[in-house]
Amino acid sequence: MRNILLVALTVVMGFMVACDDHDVLPPYNTPAKIFQVDSLFHYKDNISSKGDTLKFRIVGHVSDTTVKYPISVTLKAVDSTTQVQYAGNYYKTIAVKYDTSDYYKTKMIRFTDTGTVYMTTPALPVKTKLRSTATFAYGLNLSSQLGTTALTVKNNALTQ
């Protein structure tokens, strides 16, 4: 009986020595980008003094091949000098078209909006210059996997 107890104790001690715990974590590898907005620009840079609609053109890339998650955008337009906000808009989901242009370079699927992203401005004084900012969100993102998600278009001159 004593020998069995000694063998069992030896086996248990052997497992305890074999299961050595380590406090050192492996190095962190940054995951590949899954979402990137490449460009944001207006169809027209001039707005009228009666109020107008700013139409945006958006181009970006996404690495999710299911392309089923929505892209949302928050827009705002402020006076370039006074920083007073004149307009804003939020789109929970924007309509986009996907294609594989430049896929061999980026290994990501390109998307372009279908002309549905716009923001209405009120009547503004002549020579007002606006700065428009857009912040994007993607349905399948982690903070460490995002590329550029906020872009700004500057100096939309108001003409008469």
Domain parsing of the chain, residue ranges? 35-157
pLDDT at 133: 86
3-class DSSP assignment, residue 65: coil
Q: What is the DSSP letter of 16?
A: H
pLDDT at residue 156 in the model: 57
d(CA 73, CA 78): 17
Give the side-chain half-sphere CA count within 13 A for 20.
4
pLDDT, position 159: 43
Picking from 74, 76, 52, 67, the residue whose alpha carbon sits closest to that of residue 97 is 67
pTM over 0.75: no
CATH topology of domain 35-157: Immunoglobulin-like (2.60.40)
Give me the DSSP letters along 114-152: -S--EEEE----TT-EEEEEEEEEETT--GGGB---EEE
The pLDDT of residue 143 is 60
pLDDT by residue for the chain (160 residues), tens only, comes to: 777 877 777 777 766 655 666 677 777 776 677 888 888 887 665 666 677 788 888 888 888 777 778 888 888 988 888 888 988 999 988 999 998 888 888 788 899 988 888 888 888 877 778 888 888 888 765 666 667 777 777 655 544 3
Handedness of CA 99, 102, 105, 110 (dihedral sign): negative
CA distance to 22, 62, 75, 143, per residue, from 29 (Å): 19, 20, 33, 14
